[in-house]
Amino acid sequence: MKTPVDPAVKGCDETRRQLLEAAGAVFAQTGFRRATVREICRRAGANVAAVNYHFGGKKTLYSQVLVHAHRKALQKYPLLPGLGGEAPPEQKLRAFIHSLLLRIFDTGPGAWQGKLMSREMIEPTTALGPLVEERLRPMANQLLEIVAAILGRPAGDERVRLCGLSVISQCVFYHHCRPIVSRLFPNTLPANAASVGRLAAHITDFSLAAMAHLSRSKSSKPRK
């Protein structure tokens, strides 16, 4: 027999969730420094004192929103959907890139999540350090393991690290340089899931070709 949930506790959790969602949209739109607690509470339909009550202040709220955004984005677009540990590393790389691009170009209700993460990269706050160590480093290590398997080198090798960064750079370029790309080459940026898939395929094929060339290159010596 399930223990009945206290309505007060349930209401408290719902207010907290609404604050996280409202704050995420506001922070993504204006940034941490320009966002106001009053506007966040207005959008959440909560009392202006709710942020202090649930989070202890704007700074802690922002840190929690970043974690919330990253968790929700990965729930919607898992890194390696349906792939087990025995899957070929090339297939894992394709899935990793596709997942990242889906998060970057998401236009649904959770689109603010990718925008907020990108803003934090450009306008870093004190919340970035914990975010990197707790949420982003595990993802980076996973990518490096995939690249290492493709190159046949240790995950700590410099070439592996540089190739991993090159993969990520190709993906985030289309977000950070969106205004320029859209003017230089109209209709290049993905507008739907199919076009995201085509871009993911291009970045994957390009990266695999580059790594294959590096693996064959005599001058490409392992470094630690």
Q: What is the pLDDT along the chain (224 residues), one digit of tens a residue?
A: 444 433 444 457 899 999 999 999 999 999 999 999 999 999 999 999 999 999 999 999 999 999 999 999 999 999 998 888 899 999 999 999 999 999 999 988 888 988 898 889 889 999 999 999 999 999 999 999 999 999 999 999 999 999 999 999 999 999 889 999 999 999 899 988 899 999 999 999 999 999 999 998 755 555 55
Which one, of 168, 27, 178, 166, lies nearest residue 99 by Cα? Answer: 168
pLDDT at position 221 is 56
105/218 Cα distance (integer angstroms): 38
Whole-prediction pTM: 0.86
Which one, of 130, 150, 154, lies nearest residue 205 by Cα? Answer: 150
Contact 24, 31 (CB under 8 A): no
**Positive or negative torsion for Cα 35, 36, 37, 40:** negative
Alpha carbon 20 to chain centroid distance? 17
166 residue type, one letter: S
Contact 62, 23 (CB under 8 A): yes
80/97 Cα distance (integer angstroms): 9
